[in-house]
């Protein structure tokens, strides 16, 4: 498990760039990344940086009320064609995720999926997802624990 301290948007950008560089280039199923941590700990900011790195021009906002957003990826570097951003905060269980077409989404190798609050739906997530845990340290500092 690695821990990194982020003290600025520039440092978050550097971490995002390194994270993207270390992603697998191809998959047999979707690549799933779980993002845990308190409200305001940097999860959506992280996804915004990932989206920018993957060539997505759309504004990325938290899918808190719509649960799931899909963005088209404009990068030739990866086989991923879609970034799926899910906020499971308002879901009761994995059953709610299944209703949204989870089986099809997770089995599509063209998808890279970021799930905020994965612990709320853990029973339907594969065991091999990448997990990042975000911690609010203070107004300008975040701690991210992860294993790639």
Task: Go through the chain and tell me how many residues it has.
Answer: 148
Query: Residue 6 has what pLDDT?
Result: 95
Mean pLDDT across 104-118: 96
As given in the structure block, the two tokens for residue 26 are 């191809």
pTM exceeds 0.95: no
User: For 33-90, what is each residue's pLDDT tens digit?
Assistant: 999 998 889 899 999 999 998 889 888 888 877 899 999 998 777 789 999 999 999 9
In this prediction, what percent of the chain has a pLDDT beyond 70?
98
Neighbour count for residue 53 (Cβ, 10 Å): 18
As given in the structure block, the two tokens for residue 148 are 């790639």
Q: What is the CATH number of domain 2-146?
A: 3.40.50.300
């Amino acid at each position: 498990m690695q821990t990194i301290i982020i003290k600025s948007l520039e440092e978050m950008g550097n971490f995002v760039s390194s994270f993207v560089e270390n992603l697998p280039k191809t998959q047999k199923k979707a690549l799933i990344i779980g993002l845990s941590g308190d409200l305001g700990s940097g999860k959506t900011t992280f996804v915004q940086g990932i989206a920018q790195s993957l060539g997505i021009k759309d504004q990325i906002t938290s899918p808190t009320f719509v649960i799931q957003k899909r963005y088209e990826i404009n990068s030739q570097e990866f086989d991923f064609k879609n970034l799926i951003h899910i906020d499971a905060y308002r879901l009761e269980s994995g059953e709610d995720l299944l209703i949204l077409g989870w089986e099809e989404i997770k089995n599509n190798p063209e998808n890279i999926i970021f799930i905020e609050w994965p612990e709320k739906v853990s029973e339907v997530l594969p065991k091999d997802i990448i997990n990042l845990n975000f911690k609010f340290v203070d107004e300008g500092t975040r701690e991210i624990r992860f294993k790639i």
